[in-house]
Amino acid sequence: MAPFQTESFGRYYLVDKVATGGMAEVFKAKSFSHGGFEKLLVIKRILEHLSDNEEFVEMFIDEAKITVSLQHPNIVQIYDFGRINDNYYLSMECVEGKDVKGILRKLAQRRKLLPTEFAVYIAHEMAKGLYYAHTKVDSEGRPLRIIHRDISPSNILVSYTGEVKIADFGIAKAESSAYDTQDGVLKGKFEYMSPEQASGAELDHRSDIFSAGIILHEMLTGRRLFKTDSDVKTLEKIKAVDILPPSALNPNVPARLDDIVMKALARDPDDRFQDARELQQALLEFSYPATPDLTRESLAHFMQELFAQEIEDERARLAEGTRVAAEMYAAEPHPDDGDWQMAATTASGTLATRPSRWPLLVALVAVIVLAGALVVVLTREPHPPPPEQPEQPTTASLQLRILPPDAQATIYLDDQQIGTGTELLKEGLPPGRSVKLRVVAEGYREWSDTVDLVAGERLRQQVRLDPIVEPTPDDSEPTEGSGAADAAVVTPPVPAESPPAEPSAPQVVVEPVSVDARFVSDPPGAVVLVDGRRVGTTPLTWTDGTPGRSYSVRYELDGYEPVEFSARLPSSGSRTFSQTLAKKEVLPGKLSVFSSKPGTVFVDGQEWGVTPPMQTREVKPGTHSIRIEHTDGSVSEGSKEVAPGAKERATF
């Protein structure tokens, strides 16, 4: 949308727009008070046309009542609730970072997966917050029985400092809720519902655990678990829970983690983790010996590198918005910022002096002292220094797991030995270059690959060594599936009845066998992934394969459906694997345009009609320019990106 203009909203100043949804807008805001004190927070404001919707307002009030009682480091804190003019609003803690949806989208653009340790840590922290909410009691010790019902990637926030917080209890269900969902009405995002939620059945806290399992599965695989081309199909797929473990899509996911994910995703709630603490403990045990504190620091570096440009842009917008807000605040009268005693005009027109509030303050301080409380006086410089720039990571790290576990391996990086054994963690490596990684073990074929080291990232690699096979003279080719070596030594047989003796014939050395796999696609330019690892783009000649072995190959090209197939390499020579890619069906999207101020709507230069009411039409996927010529002569402009099959809304 167009650059946001700072505006006042009651005692708050909205300095930057974070998001606009179908029901509310979210802003970064500043509040100011006496002595130069200022606070950064977030304002969630109901859209003006929904303020007369009693059902929605009741649900919004429920969110305030439920969330304000939740005081936990893994839940976004609510500060205030109220109504200014025709807008209900919530003020809440500002989490400077991204939601999980934004993180996965950014990684998909870079064709990368979220590192497993970060996916596990985010799920661990999410489980901590859920357990607190699920077991929360009121002041008399009665369970509130809170169920979030909308645990989804867009409601899990990850700060740039590595904190994880659950947001948006907008449709949460609690024992104290005044608002009750009608029977048969589904609340929440369809793709992240539990089977019982998709069926419209009675829910308990284990529904949130299933939703958390979906998010963990998607973080580990980078794929949408229940995404289909229609809501009906999605709900049916969820009810059936016909899914594969994460390792089927990401071979680097260990079996132990597979078990945790699949238990959280059990169709029957009785087969799942029975509370979120069980899930948290399972993830904590899997992470050992890593600790949440150390992982949080690593995640912070990861976030700051991944969103470096966004952080810079957000800080610039916040600084400018704060400057304008401070000027607006300074230009307005603030009588409460003055002395405690001030003159006031009575109804008769005479001047009266406001009573001193010092006795009240003295009494209040006395009560605090008697209660044993600690009074902390917070002061702030009138003009605080700008926030420090995050320290950018300057080194990379490498983690190897070598199979089979009994191999006595030696590991080399650019021909320099960096370790031995089957487990290796090497930190402090210089980034920004491609290096040759080599693993050598007696009795096994040497393994090598070229890898890229990136600052702030840990490269994880699982290496499976192929044993060297010694064939007999009448068996010139290795047995099917044996993982034959490129070179083998053939020794003449010794008769059984003869005593052992030195071989009379010299050893015969078989020259290394070279095989080529040529990957071709129509159209060309597709990314080639072999056993989940990117090896190049088509047309491509690949020479790193083992003769006679089968590989899982996938072609990916923007705008085309991916193709997966099995490629068996020949025992020698070369073989071509050609695939024709089918174009993806491009579904139209829907765009809605609404303005609280009357005007004529133009989208991509075409007139749509007058708003209000809202103007909605089908549009082609892509970015669309929006212009509203208001009846008072003013103009609003902006743009909105619409994905295939998506519904987007632009609100002015």
| pLDDT tens digits, 24-57 | 889 999 998 877 788 999 998 887 777 777 777 7
Domains recognised in the chain with CATH numbers: 7-309 (1.10.510.10), 399-471 (2.60.40.1120), 515-580 (2.60.40.1120), 589-651 (2.60.40.1120)
Token pair of 420, please?
């031995």
Record the pTM.
Answer: 0.53
- Of the listed ranges 174-178, 246-250, 311-315, the least confidently predicted one is 174-178
What is the mean predicted confidence (pLDDT) over 303-320?
Answer: 92
| CB proximity list for 215: less than 8 A, separation 6 or greater | 100, 123, 126, 151, 152, 153, 156, 192
- Of the listed ranges 60-74, 264-278, 296-310, 636-650, the least confidently predicted one is 60-74
Distance CA(176)–CA(146), nearest Å, equals 9
* Cβ 419 vs Cβ 426: under 8 Å: yes
What is the mean predicted confidence (pLDDT) over 270-298?
Answer: 91
Among 463, 391, 393, residue whose Cα is nearest residue 427:
393
pLDDT attached to residue 188: 54
Beta pairing, strands 573-580 & 515-522: parallel
What percent of the residues of the chain are helix, what percent strand, and what percent coil, each to the nearest 5?
25, 30, 40
pLDDT attached to residue 379: 37
Annotation marks residue 414 as catalytic: no
Beta pairing, strands 647-651 & 589-594: parallel
Task: Report residue 489: phi and psi, to 5°.
Answer: -105, 125
Distance CA(31)–CA(14), nearest Å, equals 9
Residue of 16, 62, 99, 150 marked active site:
150
Tens digits of residue pLDDT in 571-584:
777 788 889 888 87
The angle subtended at Cα 298 by Cα 404 and Cα 155, nearest 5°, is 105
Letter for the amino acid at 411? Answer: I
Distance CA(461)–CA(114), nearest Å, equals 14
Greater confidence, 275 or 397? 275
- Prior bond of 289 cis (ω within 30°): yes
Strand partners, 607: 602
| CB proximity list for 648: less than 8 A, separation 6 or greater | 589, 590, 591, 592, 640, 641, 642
pLDDT attached to residue 114: 94
Give SS3 for 440. strand
* Cβ 540 vs Cβ 574: under 8 Å: no
| Tokens 């190897």 -> residue | 400
Instruction: Specify the DSSP class assigned to residue 167.
Output: -
What is the mean predicted confidence (pLDDT) over 437-448?
Answer: 86
pLDDT attached to residue 184: 38
Examine the pLDDT at 287 and tell me if it is beyond 80. Answer: yes
* Confidence at 342, pLDDT banded by 50, 70, 90: very low
Rg over alpha carbons for the chain, rounded to the nearest Å, is: 31
What is the mean predicted confidence (pLDDT) over 81-85?
Answer: 83
